[in-house]
Amino acid sequence: MSYKPPFTITADILNLVAEISEQVGRLNANALDASPQLRKQNRIKTITGTLAIEGNTLTEEQVTAIVDGQRVMGSVRELAEVKGAIQAYDALPKLQPDSINDLLTAHGLMMSDILVNAGEFRHKAVGIHKGNVVHHVAPPAHQVSGLMEDLTHWLKQAKDHPLITSSVFHYEFEFIHPFNDGNGRMGRLWQTLILSQWHPLFLSLPLESVIKDNQQRYYQALEQADQQAESTPFIHFMLSVIAQTLVQNAPVNAPVNVPVNAPVNVSGLKTPEAIMALIQHNPAITRQQIADTTGKDIRTIGRAMAKLQQAGRLKRVGSDKSGHWEIISE
């Protein structure tokens, strides 16, 4: 019997999949080519974010300079990490997510100037430590090759939505921890690869940057999945991050003739003001996306939006599924 990772598809997960799919489905095909500069900026955010999770201190400005071929002051390791990440992300369109060889190739690109055995599965035991506390002991090294074969075979045969399978793969990959180093950034890279095969938009979204903004929740979701011995909590977390990324980067999926605006920062705003700011930025935003972005419960958002409508500050135009919000000027 072939291997199937344990997870449960809950109502919340199905709702998030439907919501994300609807937003992606509204994309203008030309939007992907609308702004090469925006795509470059998002790739820089992606690289900065995924490396910052691992402790790299280089800023977006410094990563931009490296991408542009300029000299940057920094530690040898941090500079090598950036150059490796650039190579790995540049290679994404040529990689297949169910290929072990491609996975090893990508790791070789990512870690070529950092690890002697880059592009090879580990040959020793590893664990995840925080201080003196061991949070996760990975399977023995002699099992890694077989476990990864099982996981990639499952991915190839999986019938679930890519939003779900990419999140399951990400968690299972981190659980196996197949490499001596670089597992976190490779797990995030591979989820982006899986998603990009569903829709190329994901090559242009800085998903890793939003994970960095929610770093503690990321670790908590991994730990909770470990405790439950299934990836369900991590699936829910990643889907909420994907939804949040789409909201914060609405210019990526805006029509070509729509001006590009910076992502909205609603931190520090009261709930009604945060809602209005997000709607002004993206009138098609959903209640769930507002909840994910603000960190509020969806019922709290629903009540706040109802009060805004009653106060004559906000109205709904069209249906819940295909309509949009309109701010009423005072």
pTM of the complete model: 0.75
At 168-206, the pLDDT tens digits run 999 999 999 999 999 999 999 999 999 999 998 899 899
Query: Domains in the chain and their CATH numbers?
Result: 29-253 (1.10.3290.10), 271-327 (1.10.10.10)
pLDDT, position 165:
98
Task: Tell me which long-range contacts 82-88 makes (C-beta under 8 A, separation of at least 24).
Answer: 82/47, 82/51, 82/56, 82/58, 83/113, 84/109, 84/110, 84/111, 84/112, 84/113, 84/114, 85/47, 85/50, 85/51, 85/110, 85/185, 86/47, 87/112, 88/189
pLDDT, position 248:
77
pLDDT, position 330:
53
At 279-308, the pLDDT tens digits run 877 887 888 888 888 888 888 999 999 999
> Residue 10 has what DSSP assignment?
-
Contacts of 279 (CB under 8 A, 6+ apart): 285, 290, 314, 325, 327
Distances (CA, A) of 112 to 11, 86, 104, 107, 167: 42, 12, 11, 8, 26
CA nearest neighbour of 10 among 189, 289, 208, 228: 228
Q: pLDDT digit of tens for each residue in the chain (330 aa)?
A: 588 999 999 999 999 999 898 888 766 444 555 567 778 889 999 999 999 999 999 999 999 999 999 999 999 999 999 999 999 999 999 999 999 999 999 999 999 999 999 999 999 988 776 666 666 788 999 999 999 999 999 999 999 999 999 999 999 999 999 999 999 999 999 999 999 999 988 998 999 999 999 999 999 999 999 999 999 999 999 999 999 888 877 644 443 333 333 456 777 788 998 898 888 778 878 888 888 888 888 889 999 999 999 988 898 877 666 567 888 865
